Amino acid sequence: MDFELIDLTLDDDEEDGDGYMDETSSIYSLATLPTKREAEEMTELDELEKEREEVPEQPHDEEEDAEERLQQSIREEEEMQIARAVMERLEWEQEAVEAFEREREEEAMAQAAASALDDDLDDAVATPVHSSFVR
């Protein structure tokens, strides 16, 4: 196991910044002090971040931004047109279904009327005619 010495004279209390531990320092903060290896890794990470910050960002080209906004608005308009077309198609299909259902109801009513008329006709033919009705 590696044991590393921790300099207890380091100030972990950032409020007073006197460089020494005092009564406001906590055991928890002592336990969270970085090891030598962790400190080196953090230093390396800090150096990488500084290098990254030193690289100047590409200035945004206003023409590119305008082109991106134009492309975005074109995509949004296309999406709206597709949504409208889908809604129109759904409405058309709903109207077609309703028309089909009305036709079926009308056919059923016509069939029922024809059946009732046919039954009336059958009853009329089956009823014996009384001689007094015949001339």
- pLDDT by residue (tens digit) across 104-135? 999 999 999 999 888 877 777 766 666 565 55
- pLDDT by residue (tens digit) across 55-96? 666 666 788 889 999 999 999 999 999 999 999 999 999 999
Residue ranges of alpha helices (H) inside the chain are 27-31, 36-54, 62-126
Does the pTM of the predicted model rise above 0.75?
Answer: no
- pLDDT by residue (tens digit) across 11-59? 445 555 555 555 555 544 555 566 677 777 888 888 888 887 776 666 6
Token reading at 89: 């198609």
pLDDT at 97: 94
pLDDT at 28: 44
- Distance between CA 70 and CA 78 in Å, rounded? 12
Is residue 100's pLDDT more than 90?
Answer: yes
- Distance between CA 16 and CA 110 in Å, rounded? 98
Q: How many residues does the chain have?
A: 135
Q: What are the Cα distances from residue 123, in Å, to 52, 91, 126?
A: 101, 47, 5
The one-letter amino acid at 78: E
